[in-house]
Amino acid sequence: MPELYVINLSIDTGSNFNRTFFVNDPITNSSFNLSEYNVISQMKQWYGSSTHIDLQTEILDPFTGMIMISLTPEETILLNPGRYNYNVVMISSLGISTRLFEGIASVKQGVTR
């Protein structure tokens, strides 16, 4: 199984946001094949929050383990500036969830409009 990586993000309100990740297999030291998995991602202002924001997720290349998460300008404009916790989770065909990436997503609002 892939290891969990901590990667912090920066999101500007009113702008496109996307981030690409690569999933590696620590045993073989090669790309993790995501062909049999789905991937989801969410962020919350704190771990115990009952509300969350779904990030768009896409497996760009299952054989190289390439994943992209994204938000549109219409979605980022609705975010309150501040710090959010996020993670990216893969789900096997058997329903087993594995966290791949997590960290802080800093949402920043621009000064100039």
Q: Which segments of the chain does DSSP mark as H helices, in order?
A: 73-76
pLDDT reported for residue 1? 77
* Cα→Cα distances 93→33, 39, 78, 90, 113, Å: 13, 11, 33, 10, 46
What's residue 15's pLDDT?
95
Whole-number pLDDT of residue 113: 60
Q: What is the pLDDT along the chain (113 residues), one digit of tens a residue?
A: 788 999 999 999 999 999 999 999 988 989 999 999 999 999 999 888 899 999 999 999 999 999 999 999 999 999 999 999 999 999 999 999 999 999 999 999 977 66
pLDDT at 112: 66
Q: Where are the domains of the chain?
A: 5-94
Architecture of domain 5-94: Sandwich (2.60)
pLDDT at 3: 87
Structure token digits, residue 2: 């892939």
pLDDT at 110: 76
